[in-house]
Structure 1
Amino acid sequence: MALTWRENKDYMEIVADLMGSEEVQALEKFVHHKVTNRLAHSISVSYRSYKIAKFLGLDEVATARAALLHDLFYYESCDKHCVGGKGHNYEHPRIALENALKLTELSEKEQDIIVKHMFGATLALPLYGESYIVTWMDKHSAICEWCAGIMNFIKNKEQSKAQAVEVSE
């Protein structure tokens, strides 16, 4: 049986200092991908990326930590006034890196992971395998979150219809 991120002692040791920080915990206040919060998304990306990096024999420590910090920005994604002229996809990784550097020391690899996680939506080519993993898991997590949101919407709509039928009977 697979461990959850909270049950995985090795993972928790790697990210404990970051997870306990006010800066990372503040991400919970921001809606992300319309159906989750930024903290939950960041943990999802971090833990999925950590497991893949570990399986492949790559740097799971840098991967887990940088992935947890990849969206360390404090504005709503849809707010066009909070980013520079190149748009959210380009700017938010740079803002996240700037915020992460205020929180902890980062290796060159960790910095690359954070700033290049939007590869595909931007042309910033990752330099490390770990950066590609986080890029892919960011997209994978976003798709899973979006699908879960759609399923919840459908489920809630069906429950509302069922309740309306009960009331009218």
Structure 2
Amino acid sequence: MKLKDREEKEFLCHIEDIMSHSEVKKMKQFMQHGTTDTLTHSYTVAYYSCWVCYRLGIKLDIRSIARGAMLHDFYLYDWHIPDKSHRLHGFFHPAKSLKNAENHFELGDLEKDIIETHMWPLTIRKIPKSREALIVCFVDKICSLVEIFTNKKLD
């Protein structure tokens, strides 16, 4: 499951500033699932979310999908280490990620929706409002399961 050359160039163009940002690079320091760090996880979710959108063949905002997915876990701490500041991580990290993203990037409404609602249905009141956010939400779950149960990222 690979993006076509043109699709991959477009995808990388959409996230170039995010990938080169010093705060985003810090995501590499924190484990997400298994042996996958948070930056790699976010990149994988962004990549496959775009792949799904291209394959669906319907008009979707690929730029917002790529950017929102890259920032969906931009919380900058290790949630595996017990700490009162990130208790109930699954419920509260979308808001922390959104706040960090807003502090470092200009975000559109779709990007905000993607970041804020990616943990649905766990965050029962934060329901994806767009097809783009719903796709990222589901791709995030699939990538997470692969990382947890196979100790690998999707190839």
TM-score by length of 2: 0.87
Question: Can you list the C-alpha shifts for 1:34-79, whole angstroms capped at 9, x where unaligned?
Answer: 3210011000001111122233321111000000000001111133
Match of 1:89 in 2: 90
Counterpart residue type for residue 15 of structure 1:
I
SS in 2 for 1:111: helix
Counterparts of 1:143 and 1:36 in 2: how far apart (Å)? 12
Is residue 8 from structure 1 mapped to residue 8 from structure 2 by the alignment?
A: yes
Aligned to 1:48: 48
Q: Which has the greater radius of gyration?
A: 1
Q: Which amino acid aligns with 1:145?
A: E
Structure 1 partner of 2:113: 112
Partner of 1:67: 69
The code of the aligned residue for 1:110 comes to E
TM-score by length of 1: 0.80
Distance 1:142 1:58 in 2: 23
Distance 2:28 2:4 in 1: 19
Gap change, CA 1:4 and 1:33, over 3 Å in 2: farther
Contact 1:80 1:88 in 2 (8 A): no
Separation of aligned partners in 1, 2:113 and 2:44 = 19
Inter-partner Cα distance in structure 1 for 2:99 and 2:40? 21
Which whole-Å CA distance do the structure 1 matches of 2:37 and 2:84 have between them?
Answer: 20
Separation of aligned partners in 2, 1:116 and 1:2: 26
Structure-1 residue corresponding to 2:122: 121
User: Do 1:117 and 1:138's aligned partners in 2 also have CA atoms closer than 8 Å?
Assistant: yes
Return 5+ residue gaps in structure 2 as ranges: none
Residues 21 and 4 (structure 1 numbering): CA distance in 2 closer, same or farther, change over 3 Å?
farther
Q: Summarize the alignment of residues 15-34 of structure 1 with structure 2, pairs less than 5 Å apart.
A: 15-34=15-34
- After TM superposition, give the deviation of residue 125 of structure 1 in Å: 1.0
Identical residues among aligned pairs (%):
33
Work out whether residues 41 and 141 of structure 1, in 8 Å CA contact, stay in contact via their aligned partners in 2. Answer: yes
Quick check: 2:120–2:137 contact (8 Å CA) kept in 1? Answer: yes
Q: Distance in 2 between matches of 1:46 and 1:2?
A: 13
Q: Report deviation, 1:111.
A: 0.4
Q: Secondary structure at the match of 1:32?
A: strand
Displaced runs of 4 or more, over 4 A: none
Using CA pairs under 8 Å that are at least 6 residues apart, name the structure with larger relative contact order, 1 or 2.
2
Query: In structure 1, what is the Cα distance between the partners aligned to 2:127 and 2:139?
Result: 16
